Chain A
Amino acid sequence: MKKLLTTAASIALVSALSISAVAADKLKVGFIYIGPPGDFGWTYQHDQGRQAIDARLGDHAETVFVENVPEGPDAERTITRLARQGAGLIFTTSFGYMDPTLNVAAKFPDVKFEHATGYKRTDNVSTYGARFYEGRYVIGQIAAKMSKSGVAGYIGSFPIPEVVRGINAFLLGAQTVNPDFKLKVVWANSWFDPGREADAAKVLISQGADIITQHTDSTAAVQVAEAQGVYAFGQASDMAAFAPNALLTSIIDNWADYYVDRTQAVLDGSWVSTDTFGGMDTNMVQMGPFVNMPADVKAMAETTTAAITAGELHPFAGPVYKQDGSLAAAEGEVVDLGTLLGMDWYVKGVDDQL
């Protein structure tokens, strides 16, 4: 019995060691996820990006990921673990990982870090985010065309600038079609809580919204929309499969090109700390197919998308009025980047208080 145990232990030890040995030759790229890849939203798209590294650079790099990492002290430990286990490049894919990422980066100067949606950078910490608000502007226009009640419901996660920016862009888009368009907001206080997201969607529909859009990670809201016969938009990922009749289009986060480029940069030794804020022009924000809508609405959406991609149209071009009626950007001006990044006010017409 004792011998059996010893053998078992040594087998376990050897196999554990061999796992680490394989890793030594290739660049190890680590990912920290806030949710599960099976959310079919935010984390799913980051995982698609990870898989793109495997697919395109598989000969030189390998990837590992940790899912469901809470944005607290656990994050710092998990990032440390990836760094200690030899990861040369680590993507931390939620805003709340900002300080943990910086703390770990200070201890591992040779490891490169990429933090999504944050604003603190150092020599070995880059930040990256996407101008999702460009897509929000397009779906806002579609919403105003398709809505009969003139009221849309918006499920927010947390009132951080990125989410507020999306709400504002959506309404600014809608107001170009219908100046009286109304927007109701419900906060789920979570990035991923399908039950609560579904409840929020039901509440908004019962309050008269016949268009649902959301800044949360699951497919719950679009499924509710499908069941209740109202329109919806996919968030982060193409959610058409979950609401074939209700979904008008999706805003798709495309991290794949960025992740492959950054991994290649580490392999080439050309990686430097940068801040990337990509949009439709760099294909980081994509629109899904425009479906379930008349041809003229589709044509309008395509025109707007093309104009934003070409840089001819900025969703926050003036005149932009704040909720209290004060002017945020005059005719001919554009709300500046600093204001966008720290946005803590609603535009006129939002039926909610921050």
Chain B
Amino acid sequence: MNKLRKHLELNVQLILEKRPQSSGLMNLFSPLLAIVLTVVVGGLIFAAMGKPPLTALYLYFIDPLTSWWSVEEVLVKAGPLVLIGVGLAVCFKANVWNIGAEGQLTVGALMGAIIPILWGEWQSPLALLAMLCLGALGGALFALIPAWLKTHFGVNEILTSLMLVYIAQLLLDWFVRGPWKDPNGYNFPKSVSFEGWHLLPMWGDGRMHFGLIVSLVAALVLFWIMRHTLKGFEINVVGSAPRAGTFAGFSQTKMVWFCFALSGGLAGLAGLIEVAGPIGQLQPQISPNYGFTAIIVAFLGRLNPLGVIFAGILLAISYIGGEGIQIELGISSKITQMFQGMLLFFILMCDTLILYQLKWISTKPNQPTSGHAS
């Protein structure tokens, strides 16, 4: 028996081999397959926890869409995810890895808040417009730090953009506890409440806001750019075949700057929209990790701006639904993170298996091993 196992270990290897051609249809269905797998495994986990799996799945995925109130909440939640997600989608498409959208969101919110906090008496539609511009500018400038480090020193942008998140959060923390603390707020770490034109127009139950339109427009515009302009073509070429891009005269360096400025700007805008919309003031915590969740959204949406809209809505449902089953069935809030993790895991797995196939190969002990992917 032992001998047999040894024999097997020596002579059989499991490798990932690139498929000669990948199925275009499967490529399209990969996210759907990932969703189905997540739902099935999720159901099994609910059953293993002793909860009725069908009820739980219904409450998780369907119930949030059954009343107008929760649909509004799904949209409010999807807004920032989509806005950040479309920027990241373009970024990732070009093989530029901005992981720090959460930090850019934070700095955008800080920059935009300059107007209500320092020029509180300036009340006009222009004030709101200036806030939106400052928000986008703040996010973009903050994102240019990793871009600069990357292009000038060759520092890995994944690390720098991620670490800058913590710097941004501590900066926000310092501002709301220090200079921008509400003087009438009993020393609690909050800025003054924004008022009038420093808040986004709202409608519906009172939580739907102008930012949702911004998200939708951003997604549509980026879709058009990616599909119909030279810039879109450039992003696709540089991302999928960097050498070909260089021969075509596209600059890798400029692409890094462009991607960080774009995704950072959109993340900053999302941050400003959060503080001028649902929150209405600065406080130490302004985002439940939208900047990180948007990474899942970008991939789930196939790095396609239209796909990102649907992915954002799906992730938003997972938040709202996760809260629902917590109240109705007493299931821990960790389930939301688990579902989101499973979703990303399955989509990456499906993608891998579409491009590659698993193959057992036998290797003769006395021959050099062949078949390693080079």
Q: A12-B55, A73-B279 are in contact. Are A343 and B187 (CB under 8 A)?
A: yes
Q: Is the CB of A66 within 8 A of B186?
A: no
Cβ–Cβ < 8 Å partners of A68 in chain B? 333-334
Q: Is the CB of A16 within 8 A of B59?
A: yes
Our pick among A84, A99, A119, A342 for the contact of B280 (Cβ within 8 Å) is A99
Q: A15-B52, A72-B285 are in contact. Are A77 and B187 (CB under 8 A)?
A: no
Q: Is the CB of B278 within 8 A of A8?
A: no
Cβ–Cβ < 8 Å partners of B76 in chain A? 73, 77
Please give me the residue from chain A that is nearest to B280 by CB atom: A99
Q: Is the CB of A96 within 8 A of B69?
A: no
The stretch that binds A, out of B85-93, B225-233, B299-307, B324-332, is: B324-332
Q: Which of A69-110 contact B (CB under 8 A)?
A: 69-74, 76-78, 80-82, 84-85, 95-96, 99, 107
Cβ–Cβ < 8 Å partners of A84 in chain B? 69
State the CA gap A107–B77 with chains docked (Å): 20
Cβ–Cβ < 8 Å partners of B279 in chain A? 72-73
A13 in the interface, Cβ–Cβ < 8 Å?
yes
Please give me the residue from chain B that is nearest to A74 by CB atom: B288
Contact with B along A107-140 (1 / 0, CB 8 A): 1000000000001000000000000000000000
Contact with A along B260-292 (1 / 0, CB 8 A): 000000000000001001111101111110000
Q: A16-B59, A342-B186 are in contact. Are A81 and B283 (CB under 8 A)?
A: no
Cβ–Cβ < 8 Å partners of B188 in chain A? 95, 160-161
Cβ–Cβ < 8 Å partners of B186 in chain A? 119, 161, 341-342
Q: Which of A325-354 contact B (CB under 8 A)?
A: 341-344
State the CA gap A84–B320 with chains docked (Å): 14
Q: Is the CB of B288 within 8 A of A70?
A: yes
Cβ–Cβ < 8 Å partners of B57 in chain A? 12
Q: A66-B327, A77-B73, A107-B206 are in contact. Are A71 and B283 (CB under 8 A)?
A: yes
Q: Is the CB of A72 within 8 A of B287?
A: yes
Cβ–Cβ < 8 Å partners of A344 in chain B? 187
Q: A73-B279, A158-B284, A342-B187 are in contact. Are A85 and B69 (CB under 8 A)?
A: no
Q: Is the CB of A81 within 8 A of B323?
A: yes
Our pick among B59, B173, B285, B320 for the contact of A71 (Cβ within 8 Å) is B285
B54 in the interface, Cβ–Cβ < 8 Å?
yes
Cβ–Cβ < 8 Å partners of B55 in chain A? 11-12, 15-16, 19
Min C-beta distance of A82 to chain B, whole Å: 7
Q: Is the CB of A99 within 8 A of B333?
A: no
Q: A12-B55, A16-B59, A159-B177 are in contact. Are A72 and B328 (CB under 8 A)?
A: no
Q: A12-B54, A72-B279, A73-B278 are in contact. Are A96 and B59 (CB under 8 A)?
A: no
Contact with A along B175-194 (1 / 0, CB 8 A): 00100000000111100010
Cβ–Cβ < 8 Å partners of A11 in chain B? 54-55
Q: Is the CB of B193 within 8 A of A99?
A: yes
Q: A72-B286, A119-B186 are in contact. Are A99 and B281 (CB under 8 A)?
A: yes
Q: Is the CB of B73 within 8 A of A70?
A: no
With an 8 Å Cβ cutoff, the count of chain A residues facing the other chain is 44
State the CA gap A188–B52 with chains docked (Å): 40
Please give me the residue from chain B that is nearest to A119 by CB atom: B186
Please give me the residue from chain A that is nearest to B193 by CB atom: A99
Our pick among B73, B187, B328, B333 for the contact of A161 (Cβ within 8 Å) is B187
Q: A16-B58, A67-B333 are in contact. Are A73 and B274 (CB under 8 A)?
A: yes
Please give me the residue from chain B that is nearest to A71 by CB atom: B285
Min C-beta distance of A331 to chain B, whole Å: 26
Our pick among A76, A158, A341 for the contact of B189 (Cβ within 8 Å) is A158
Interface size class of B (residues with CB under 8 A): 35 or more
A306 in the interface, Cβ–Cβ < 8 Å?
no
State the CA gap A36–B330 with chains docked (Å): 12
Min C-beta distance of A65 to chain B, whole Å: 8
State the CA gap A72–B286 with chains docked (Å): 6
Min C-beta distance of B40 to chain A, whole Å: 13
Cβ–Cβ < 8 Å partners of A164 in chain B? 187
A307 in the interface, Cβ–Cβ < 8 Å?
no
Cβ–Cβ < 8 Å partners of A342 in chain B? 186-187
Cβ–Cβ < 8 Å partners of A74 in chain B? 288, 319
Please give me the residue from chain A that is nearest to B286 by CB atom: A72
State the CA gap A131–B67 with chains docked (Å): 43
Please give me the residue from chain B that is nearest to A11 by CB atom: B54
Our pick among A70, A80, A160 for the contact of B187 (Cβ within 8 Å) is A160
Min C-beta distance of A38 to chain B, whole Å: 9
A55 in the interface, Cβ–Cβ < 8 Å?
no
B63 in the interface, Cβ–Cβ < 8 Å?
yes
Contact with A along B57-90 (1 / 0, CB 8 A): 1110011000001100100110000000000000
State the CA gap A75–B278 with chains docked (Å): 10
Cβ–Cβ < 8 Å partners of A189 in chain B? 170, 173
B207 in the interface, Cβ–Cβ < 8 Å?
yes
Q: Which among A8, A11, A160 has the greatest number of chain B C-beta atoms within 10 A?
A: A160
Q: Which of A159-188 contact B (CB under 8 A)?
A: 159-161, 164
Min C-beta distance of B96 to chain A, whole Å: 29
- Sample (17) of A-B pairs whose CB atoms are under 8 Å apart: A9-B58, A19-B55, A19-B329, A66-B323, A67-B332, A67-B333, A70-B285, A71-B283, A72-B283, A73-B278, A74-B319, A77-B76, A82-B327, A95-B188, A96-B283, A342-B186, A344-B187
Closest A-B pairs by Cβ, 3 of them = A73-B278, A12-B58, A344-B187
B interface residue numbers (CB < 8 A to A): 52, 54-55, 57-59, 62-63, 69-70, 73, 76-77, 170, 173, 177, 186-189, 193, 205-207, 274, 277-281, 283-288, 319-320, 323-324, 326-330, 332-334
Q: Given contact pairs A9-B58, A72-B283, A85-B327, enumerate 13 new A-B contacts (beta carbons under 8 Å).
A: A12-B54, A12-B55, A19-B55, A65-B327, A66-B327, A66-B333, A72-B288, A74-B319, A78-B323, A81-B324, A107-B205, A159-B187, A189-B170
